[in-house]
Structure 1
Amino acid sequence: MKMLIVLSAMVAAVACAPTALEELKARRALPALEFEEVRDEFGQYALRYVTAEGTVVSERGHLVPAEKEGDYVLIVEGEVSFISDDGELYVTKFTAGLDGTHVEGNHLPVAPEPIVVEPIAEVAVPQ
């Protein structure tokens, strides 16, 4: 009988204990621990924030002259890092500007190297 009571108490304690997923959800609902943002009248900006679960986001947008005289393009650069549920640190860096968008990260797939195909020699066709 004692064993049944002890076993029941242990099952009840485990059932009431918060799971790691619930704790993570609760931390993600918290506001940012740090938040900085700077903007100017031209639309340039810099921002950075850190969340309770350890996500760090930093981004910067600055104007550069475009090819057309008198025009400007907003170049965006940034980085996002976070610790995933598997415990790994993932870092993603990105840029967007005149030469398109570029993203790199230690968790992103890498495209295979292109296969170089030698051109076929031209064959003389009798006429």
Structure 2
Amino acid sequence: MFKVVFALLALAAAVALAAPAADDASANILTQESRLEPDGAYSYKYSTSNGIQAEESGIGGQSVQGSASWVGDDGVPIVLTYTADENGFHPQGVHLPTPPPIPDYILRALRYIEAKQASQNGN
């Protein structure tokens, strides 16, 4: 349940910080839909006049999948998709940072360790 709440808070923060303040102050809700089922399943979807769109569906406390999009301060469209489940929050988007490649010396060391373990297990 904590992971789902965290995912919702992260999405809300991203949407709140996404568009310039002037557009946000005068933005109108263009579409809004929501559904809540007795078994805890839910979904929502909305869009605003300043280009913010979001949708999410899931089963309360178990799993969530959704997306949000907005226009960044630099005018570039940003699209975030995500899932949240027992394994945590998993965001995806080209705007998110990616780790640097693993250095060659680390890869060589890992191969050496793997070969050493294989030779020790073979004896």
* Structure 1 position 28, deviation (Å): 1.1
Percent identical across equivalent pairs? 31
The structure where helix makes up a greater share of residues is 2
Q: How many residues align?
A: 90
Gaps spanning 5+ residues in structure 1: where? 1-23, 64-72, 123-127
Higher RCO, 1 or 2 (CA under 8 Å, sep at least 6)? 2
TM-score, L = length of structure 2: 0.63
The one-letter amino acid of 2:36's match is: R
Distance (whole Å) between structure 1 residues aligned to residue 62 and residue 23 of structure 2: 34
Correspondence list, 1:62-101, <5 A:
62=59, 74-101=62-89
- Call closer, same or farther: CA 1:121–1:32 in 2, change over 3 Å: same
Aligned to 1:52: 49
Gaps spanning 5+ residues in structure 2: where? 1-19, 118-123
Distance (whole Å) between structure 2 residues aligned to residue 44 and residue 76 of structure 1: 10
Question: Which of 17, 22, 27 is the equivalent residue of 2:23?
Answer: 27
Q: Output the aligned Cα RMSD.
A: 2.2
Q: What's the CA shift string for 1:3-59, capped at 9, x where partnerless?
A: xxxxxxxxxxxxxxxxxxxxx534312331110000111221010000110011010
